[in-house]
Structure 1
Amino acid sequence: MLKNFFKFGKKKKGKEEQKSELENQLDKEIQESEDEIQKIKKETEKEIKKAADEILKKDNKISENSKVENGNVESKLDESNFEKREKTKKKPKLKPLKDRLATPKKGFFGKLKEALLGKTIDDDLYEELEELLIQSDIGMNMTMQLVEELEKSVSRKKLKTSEQIYDELKELLKAKLVYSDESNTKLKLQDGKLNILLIVGVNGVGKTTSIGKIAKKLKDSGKKVIIGAGDTFRAAAIEQVEEWGKRTGVEVIKQAHGSDPAAVIFDTVKTAKNRGFDVAILDTAGRLHNKRDLMKELEKINKIIREQSGETDFETLLVIDSTTGQNGLEQARIFNEIVDLTGIILTKFDGTAKGGIIFPITEELKKPIKFIGVGEGIEDLREFDTKEFVEAMFD
């Protein structure tokens, strides 16, 4: 029995040990499983984190590219808007010439209509017409010539009414602008060489302003322009030219106040020639102190231009203030005797209630009007178009 007891005990002990081993084995497998799970979990988290980082980097890159592209688009839009603004600046909408010439048209032709229309054709009518033409700055000589031509036309064409006389007078006046046809009114500029514009005229006529406005026109047309501040005697003349240079982006050659104008012209033409400028615009002293001194000064300047540029054929433009009337015509006569004028710049034409000065200038001097000033704006110095002028003033 005791033998059986030990046998049973031994058997029980074997079962407990087996059970313990199984439990240990199970615990071990469970632990291994948990370790494997933790390992997988860590690896998965690591892969997820890596994937997330890659996605985040990609998103950031896309975002940065988008910003750059947007920036480029915005920049291009800004540039486009800037260019549009610049084009708008450079090419402002011009008022029709007839609007700009309302004052002289009303003053000159308005009075002509009042004097002629509805009147009897007799000596009194012609006398009234003579007086009106003289008051309108036509001048005595041209007035006598016009009235004589008018009387002959009335007789030859057998005109009966004052309306017909008015129309005939307009045609006679148009004929006085024959020297201002299109072939003459354009600046004579040639590509591939230095073109000289010598600007002359007395003080106060708008010479410096005209130079600045012409410089802008030429620069806007693609020309490389330089200005010589040759009016060294008038107070603030050099500063005015410099200011126009800043406004238009055109280089200005200058010397000290009171220096020799010819020295400035020398430096300007030499610089323009050496550096390949297309146009040199040369200002000159506007003192009409006496004809002899003026002649000497301009002869010296002309000699320097010819020597330094190698050109003998260049534009010499006289600036005349329209509001000075017959005084302006007298200035034109004096300058025409001294230099070989190639054209006239007629300033402030919008401000005169007379306007007749344009006819004796072109007729007597046999010189074309190159530019006409019809306002204060930088675009209001306009190239003279005879057809446009005639339509604005006569129609």
Structure 2
Amino acid sequence: MRGLFAKFKEGLQKTHSKLVHEIKRVLTRSPRMDAATLEELEQILLGADLGVAMTQQILEAVRKAYETQGSAGLDVFSVAAREVARSLATPRSELRKAAHQTTVVSIVGVNGTGKTTTAAKLAYAVRQQGHTALLAACDTFRAAAIEQLKLWGQRLNVEVIAGAYGADPAAVAHDAVAAARARGVDYVFLDTAGRLHTKHNLMQELQKVHRVVGRQIPGAPHEVLLVVDAHTGMNALQQAREFHKAVCLTGLVVTKLDGTSKGGIVVAIQKELGVPVKFVGLGEQPDDLQPFDAEQFARALFEE
């Protein structure tokens, strides 16, 4: 686990530095937890996109700790880390596995969040665990998306099922699931087209893809993972709300955490929607997509 914590710490460096630096600045100037200090702390936590609910929870815990211990015994960082870890802890963070049949995982989200790369990295991850995997190029709008997935498939030695550019995404998903079932493949990852959460017709198309695979394997897709880019901060929360309404998300993948100071968005989305964060992207390499660990994440955010 040492390796995972080091990865989290490195990936959250920007968020961590900003949080710790600003909190220390406030506490050094004013160790008493008066209204003004709490208000400054509130601004810092909201600035890291931890969200209103989580911020209030942390401030309440800090206030209580201050009342019982005074400023001498108060460690704001460990209080914050404890609250975040408690809030994010979920028993459902690993990828589901359907019993005795192919598991279908649908990868959804807006354009540019890293869906194609995420689909490939998840295929890599399950193969590392000894499972077989297949990739489905269901983004038939962007010719480059099919090529990109095929390149990943070659690099990782994972078969890619693709249709022609402009083909019906549901037909590609159907063919991929049929191929996986015929060969007894453990996991199929559907790389769906990026779509704005405000576009009703594209959301209906995504629902159709899910209906088609659900007719082939009851209960499929077993996972619907929304990929969000950490850089987009609170916009990611709005995307998550709308996708959740349309297709009922089972988990989140938060990418590009290594380049942002808004890493708190992970906390805000899970807190509001109750959708567990399953993976976080901490870099470019196939193994930089890491299973989410609430305690390691909270420590990496706040530990001095």
Trace 1:377-392 onto structure 2 (pairs within 5 A): 377-392=285-300
1:279 aligned onto 2:190: no
Q: 1:229 is paired with a residue of what secondary structure?
A: strand
Higher relative contact order (CA 8 A, sep 6+): 2
1:373 aligned onto 2:281: yes
Offset of residue 193 of structure 1? 1.4
Taking only aligned residues, the RMSD between alpha carbons, in angstroms, comes to 2.3
**1:129 is matched with which residue?**
41
1:205 aligned onto 2:113: yes
Structure 1, residues 270-329: CA drift from partner, whole Å, max 9, x if none? 111122111110011112163422331122111111111233460111101111100111
Structure 2: state its 5+ residue gaps. Answer: none
Name the structure with the higher helix share.
1
Of 335-344 and 311-320, deviating more is 311-320
Distance 1:344 1:94 in 2: 19
Tell me the TM-score normalised to structure 1 length: 0.70
Percent of paired sites with the same residue = 40
Distance 1:190 1:262 in 2: 21
**1:175 is matched with which residue?**
86
Contact 1:375 1:381 in 2 (8 A): yes
Distance 1:121 1:131 in 2: 15
Structure 1, residues 341-367: CA drift from partner, whole Å, max 9, x if none? 111101111111232111111111111
Contact 1:150 1:168 in 2 (8 A): yes
Q: 2:133 aligns with which of 225, 242, 246?
A: 225
Q: 1:114 aligns with which of 4, 9, 25?
A: 25
Trace 1:1-395 onto structure 2 (pairs within 5 A): 96-97=6-7, 98-117=9-28, 119=30, 120-148=32-60, 150-152=62-64, 154-155=66-67, 157=68, 159-161=70-72, 163-178=74-89, 181=90, 183-190=91-98, 192-288=100-196, 290-312=198-220, 314-395=222-303
Q: 2:138 is paired with a residue of what secondary structure?
A: coil
Distance 2:69 2:130 in 1: 54
Distance 1:233 1:130 in 2: 43
Distance 2:83 2:4 in 1: 30
Q: 1:316 is paired with a residue of what secondary structure?
A: strand
Offset of residue 127 of structure 1? 1.6
Distance 2:293 2:51 in 1: 24
Moved over 4 A (4+): none
Paired residue type of 1:192: H
Contact 1:253 1:264 in 2 (8 A): yes
- Which structure is larger by alpha-carbon Rg, 1 or 2? 1
Paired residue type of 1:143: T
Contact 1:118 1:163 in 2 (8 A): no
Structure 1: state its 5+ residue gaps. Answer: 1-92
Distance 1:260 1:282 in 2: 13
Tell me the TM-score normalised to structure 2 length: 0.89
